[in-house]
Amino acid sequence: MRTLVNSLRLIAVIAVVVAIVAQWLVSSETAAYNPSNFFGYFTIQSNAIIAVALAVTLVASARRKRGDLRVSLLRGAGTVYIATTGIVYNTLLTNVDVSANVQWSNDVLHKVIPAYAVLDWLVFSDRSKLLLRHVWWFLIYPAVWTIVILIRGATDGWVPYPFLDPAQGYGVVAIYCVGVGVSIGLLGVLVVGMSRLRLVKV
């Protein structure tokens, strides 16, 4: 079972890397390409984070340190962020152009990896039991990302997603930010709760 799980995680890591590189190669050839914009998308960053988390989990498994709290926190955080990517994209951005120039890559980053990461966290037991106070750690990165994006939106006019565009009014943007923030917090609570399940022993 452990070999199968590690193989699935390795495939997921490779899929993320290939999907991001494929998207970058096409995007970098366009006239409007800006590296800080491309890598500023929450989609790209959250996929990179979950890929790193899964890679670290693979290393921990190889060293027989399965269930290490620090590794579990990283994987739990990555699960929250990638689940947020999947939920936001498939609810708020389904008909919006988010500069996804490679359709299969778009599907991998917004659908396949979010679904896999959540199932991986839910099903496989090689993780520590997290506490509710860890949810606050999960909120730090999204908060910093949002602040940076809002500053960029106000200064150079670039935002990755329409619901963060200050042109629609900061009141509207604030409502969206609070809504997404609450959703991330609830996802964090859910991830903490799932960490106590032991469905498949690894």
pLDDT of residue 177: 92
Total count of domains within the chain: 1
Q: Is residue 46 part of a domain?
A: yes
Query: What is the distance between the alpha carbons of residues 129 and 11, in angstroms, rounded to a whole number?
Result: 25
Go through the chain and tell me how many residues it has. 202
Q: Is residue 199 part of a domain?
A: no
Query: What is the distance between the alpha carbons of residues 201 and 184, in angstroms, rounded to a whole number?
Result: 27
**Domain that includes residue 182, residue range:** 2-194
pLDDT of residue 98: 57
pLDDT of residue 97: 58
The answer, as to whether pTM is greater than 0.75, is yes
Q: Is residue 14 part of a domain?
A: yes
Query: What is the distance between the alpha carbons of residues 160 and 102, in angstroms, rounded to a whole number?
Result: 17
Query: What is the distance between the alpha carbons of residues 41 and 29, in angstroms, rounded to a whole number?
Result: 18
pLDDT in tens, the chain (202 residues): 888 999 999 999 999 999 999 999 999 988 888 999 999 999 999 999 999 999 999 999 888 777 789 999 999 999 999 999 999 888 877 666 555 678 899 999 999 999 999 999 999 988 999 999 999 999 999 999 999 999 998 888 899 888 888 888 889 999 999 999 999 999 999 999 999 988 888 7
Q: Is residue 202 part of a domain?
A: no
